[in-house]
Structures are given as structure tokens and as C-alpha cells.
Amino acid sequence: MRTKLSILFIFVASLSLAQVRNEIHIPDIMGYKTLKCDLHMHTVFSDGLVWPTVRVDEAYREGLDAISITDHIEYRPHKEDVVASHNRPYEIAAEAAKSMGITLIRGSEITRGMPPGHFNALFLDDCDALDVPDYKDAFVAAKSQDAFIFWNHPGWKAQQPDTTLWWDEHTELYDGGFMHGIEVVNGKSYYPEAHGWALEKELTFMGNTDIHVPSILKDGEHRTMTLVFAKDRTTESIKEALINRRTVVYMEDKLIGEELYLRQIADKAVEILNVTRQDNTLLVDVKNNSDIPFYLEATEHDPNIVYFETFTIEPHTTHTITIKLENGVENGQVNFRVTNLLVKPNEGMLMSYDI
């Protein structure tokens, strides 16, 4: 009896755990909703180790708003045991996603050697149409369905072991309108070359887990995700935002993307509560209302304005920043770099505040 009760308790506890949602606190900006999205993941319908509904449960628990199950078209090691259309992962997960309020996007991964490598196609009507011998025909099939297509893990060592290169085949895809975005981050791997290409070629910044195993996060961790600034949580709004490049990558304690969006997030997340002057000293009380820490590093400035060399504004914390004005200086600028907001490859965002 005790054994049966223990098993029942574990079962009930696991069901309860599946329903606990860990909300991610990042501000909405520019009149858009900040949606937390993971648009690259796998199940047993390719080389993943979980059933499609598990991906929905994980997404709910981990605070995501939208996901895409992008099982490989060409690589299905479980195909003798799992015999099905490429559309089945979406079909199986759809009802669970709807019940949990997760926006589910139909997608697949075009899985080819380098060049051109692996690409995800999202917002498909029929994934089976991409199952063709020639990779160019697969891209044509995706484009004919008005898919949003992005290059996965361009710096993956298994395909580009020495140098992350942009091949002629990528130029052909890009020029032909078959490449709209690029994974600047895959899992916990950041590709500075891809960051540069996203800026240079105006590709949408993407960051995803590419998860194959069950998702298990430690306390305080979050998965890599794409922050999508959309009008609402619908598939149509997410697609519109991706096409118009309104995204930022969120990996560990870093935000990676275009300066416009990073600056908006920083300005909305950090609130100046009060500024007090005591003789030649300014005391600036700031509050961080987000989950993101901000790592500040002083840059060139008037030596008569004395402030931190480095300073961390911790998440959900109020701090006082001390600024001293020396030799009769009354005003000027506090200049610093936010080292974990990457606006260029491995380069933090510059900010200045007038005092």
C-alpha cells in the first residue's frame, strides 16, 4: 500500500509541477508585446527524445509564449518506430498548446550538409512538401508557402570546424529571398560572425535552444530564446514581427540585437527613482524592474565627474549610484558601456546620462 501511495504522490506532484509557470519579466516596448519564443526544437519525430506535448509543457513551465517544433526533414533516426507525416508533431501538440495559451507555429528543419547547412522554415502549411531530394527544391517549397526561413547554428563545429564562413550558396539563398533570419545564438553558443551578418545583411536576429533532450533548468536559469516584439500573441503577429526584424536574443545574462531595441529595453527596465544632491555629491536611486542584470563599465568622461569603474544593476533590486563633482564642475555626462547588451559582435552598448 505504501508503495502504491508513494507512486500516486509522485504522479500527482509531477502533474502539479507541469502547471507551475515561471514568468519572465522583460518589459514591453514601443507599443508591442515582448513575447518569449523558442523556435527551434526537436521531438522523437526526428532525433529528439520527447513526445511533442512535452515540449508544450516545458514551454509553459519556463515562461514561453510561443514555440515551434522543427523536427528534421531528412534525419529521422526513430523512423522505424515513429512512422508518420512531418506534420504530426504540430498536430499532436496543437491541442495542448491551445489549452495552455502557448502559440504553436508549424515548422520543419531542412537538414543538409555544408553548404548550405541546416535551416528552419516556419509558418508552413504542409511540412511534407519539403521532403524532396534537392535542397533548392526544399527551399522553393518553403517559399511557396510564404515561410519565414532562417539559418541554424552557422558556426556549428560539426559543419564549420575551423572558421564560420558565408558560402556562395548562402549568397544565392539570400539573394533569392530564401533567407530571412540567422541564429546568432544556438543553445549556449554565440556566433559573432552571425551577429555581424545579421547587421550587415539585415537578417532577423534569432536565438533558440535547438533542444533534443528533456528541458531541466536550475533555479535562476532560463532557456535561450528569441524576444519577439509583436502586436499580440497570434501567429500572424509573430510572423509580421519576424519579417520586420523586431527581435532580440536573450541568452544567459546577455541581450543581443539591434541597438534600437536594446536601448528601449534598458530604458524601460531601469527606473530612476530619485536624485539627491549633497554638496558636491549626487545620489541616484535606480530600480531594475526586470529579470536582466545590467553590467555597467565606465568609458571616457570628464575626470572631474567621478563615478563607478564598474557597477551591476541587479534584477528586481534598488541601488544608489554615487557621483562626485569636483573642481567646481556643476554638470556634464556620465558615460558607460552596458557590457551584456551586445549591439555589435562582442561589443556592449554605449550609454550616456546628463547630470
Identify which has the larger pLDDT, 17 or 35: 35
Whether the per-residue pLDDT at 92 is higher than 60: the answer is yes
Query: β-strands 181-186, 189-190: how paired?
Result: antiparallel
pLDDT, tens only, 42-90: 999 999 999 999 999 999 999 999 999 999 999 999 999 999 999 999 9
The 3-class secondary structure across 9-26, one letter per residue, is: HHHHHHHHHHCCCCCCCC
Architecture of domain 18-257: Alpha-Beta Barrel (3.20)
Going by their DSSP bridges, the two strands 33-38 and 247-251 should be labelled as unpaired
Amino acid 36: pLDDT = 98
The beta strand positions in the chain, using DSSP E, are: 33-38, 66-69, 103-111, 118-122, 148-151, 181-186, 189-190, 204-208, 225-230, 247-251, 254-257, 270-278, 281-288, 294-298, 305-306, 310-313, 318-325, 333-344, 347-354
CA distances from 88 to 46, 127, 287 (A): 11, 9, 47
User: The domain at 270-354 falls in which architecture?
Assistant: Sandwich (2.60)
Buried b (16+ CB within 10 A) or exposed e, 274-306: eeeeeeeebebebebbbbbebbbebeeeeeebb
Which residues are CB-contacts of 219 (< 8 A; sequence separation ≥ 6)? none
- Write the burial class of residue 233 (CB in 10 Å: 0-12 exposed, 13-18 middle, 19+ buried): middle
Say if residue 1's pLDDT is above 50: no
Q: How confident is the model at residue 343 (pLDDT cuts 50, 70, 90)?
A: very high
pTM of the model: 0.93
328: left (phi over 0), alpha (psi -120 to 50) or beta: left
Rounded to the nearest integer, the mean pLDDT of the chain is 95
In this prediction, residue 19 carries a pLDDT of: 74
The whole-number average pLDDT for the span 165-182 is: 98
Domain extent listing, the chain: 18-257, 270-354
pLDDT tens digit sequence for 241-279? 999 999 999 999 999 999 999 999 999 999 999 999 999
* pLDDT > 90 fraction of the chain, expressed in percent and rounded: 94
